[in-house]
Chain A
Amino acid sequence: MAASKKNSKRKFRGEVYIDQERCKGCGFCIEFCPTHVLALADSFNQKGYYPPVIADIEACTGCDLCGMYCPDFAIYGVKIRLDVVQEEANHEC
């Protein structure tokens, strides 16, 4: 286990949740995501706005800056601890 911890570069993985129907398409989240996880959708939502879609989830750190910038509470990021997942997996076997 110690070895796997040492080898893994990242302690966290990011996850981002988007409520596309609540979005007003301002683009703040896409512009200010530090690792460029998000892109503009190519289709619009029911209100006619283009919401963000996930373009590169591997790059997400779960920093939640997108969540802080969203004026419509339509997106947020969370950090998921990788070592916890790893430990749980180890316990199981």
Chain B
Amino acid sequence: MSKATNPVESYLRMDRMPSIWCPGCGIGIVVNCFARALQQMGVDHDELAVVSGIGCTGRIAGYVDIDSFHTTHGRPIPFATGLKVARPDLKVIVMSGEGDLVSIGGNHLIHAARRNSDVKVICVNNFTYAMTGGQAGPTAPRHSIATTAPYGSFDKPFNLPFLADSTGAVYVARWTTYHVRQLTRSMAEAMSKPGFCFIEVISPCPTIFSRRNRLGDGLDAMRYYKNSSKVVNGANTRMVGLDLNGPIIVGKFIDRDRPTLLEAMDEEIGSKLGKRYVPYATTGVQR
């Protein structure tokens, strides 16, 4: 039999491999699951665009063989919203780190969720600003060591599913890089669903987060995810906050429907202007 090819290769820029990511880093698994979700859905390369911010995770934009944008720090979500408004026919996916999306980009996140901007956010949470050497980020667990918290972080971390849920996201899930099948399914679900979808992926950073906190290598992190995760679909997001080395509740937490930003705009303005208004959401590129 002729040698089969890796099914993910058609969605990735294999000429740029190996990636910059460290051995045991989980970001490659997220890309892997993303490519598999696309393959399972049978979407054409031209039907979607990927937007990333800055950070180790932000480098994803450079490895997918899809139209992609490596934007400025914290800004992938507004960039993606603009892209979606200009090209409503595209599926627009944001892939970036929790520092990028929730610290410097935090305001964009909550308002895109509030307005139900039709973009899909895949947030890789490695609990630190990895690319810049390990400062305490918005999800740094209490007592975790960071360059900016040498005696342990004392701030309350964000519970990301609760944040996305309470600000209006229509789809909210959390998985770890151990949950490859569930993560792939969730990505496919989110990409098929209109509205603001948010998937948090807990991911190992052996070089910065694990090393500083003496948590071992990437494999140790994966074993921890395997042994300490519990799937609770539909869990109350208020209850899924994380502690250093504590249990991890994973699952699909929220799946609901409400008008997207463009649908709401069409509805509101259309009802006032009648035939004078050309609806946005429905017309797509023909507009």
Contact = CB atoms under 8 A, between A and B. Distances in A.
A36 interface: no
Given A22-B18, A31-B222, A71 B26 contact: yes
A69 B4 contact: no
Interface residues of A, number: 23
A27 B223 CA distance: 11
A15 B9 CA distance: 18
A79 B28 CA distance: 23
Contact of B23 (A24, A67, A69, A78): A24
B264 to A, nearest CB: 37
Contacts of A80: 1
Contact of A22 (B17, B25, B36): B17
Contacts, number: 78
Name the residue in B6, B7, B217 with the highest tally of chain A Cβ atoms < 10 Å from its Cβ. Answer: B6
Contacts of B28: 70-73
B69 to A, nearest CB: 22
Contacts of A17: 3-4, 6
A26 B12 contact: no
B181 A68 contact: yes
Interface string B1-25: 1011011110010100111011111
Classify chain B: how many residues form its interface, as a range. 20 to 34
A12 interface: no
B23 A70 contact: no
Dominant secondary structure of chain A at its interface with chain B: mixed
Interface in B192-221: 217-219
A52 interface: no
A49 B23 contact: yes
Name the residue in A24, A47, A78 with the highest tally of chain B Cβ atoms < 10 Å from its Cβ. Answer: A24
Given A27-B219, A49-B23, A71-B21, A76 B180 contact: no
Interface in A54-88: 65, 67-73, 76, 78, 80
The 8 closest A-B pairs by CB, nearest first: A71-B28, A24-B23, A68-B180, A26-B24, A76-B6, A27-B219, A78-B4, A71-B29
12 contacts: A24-B24, A25-B23, A26-B217, A26-B219, A28-B222, A32-B178, A68-B29, A68-B181, A69-B32, A69-B180, A70-B32, A73-B28
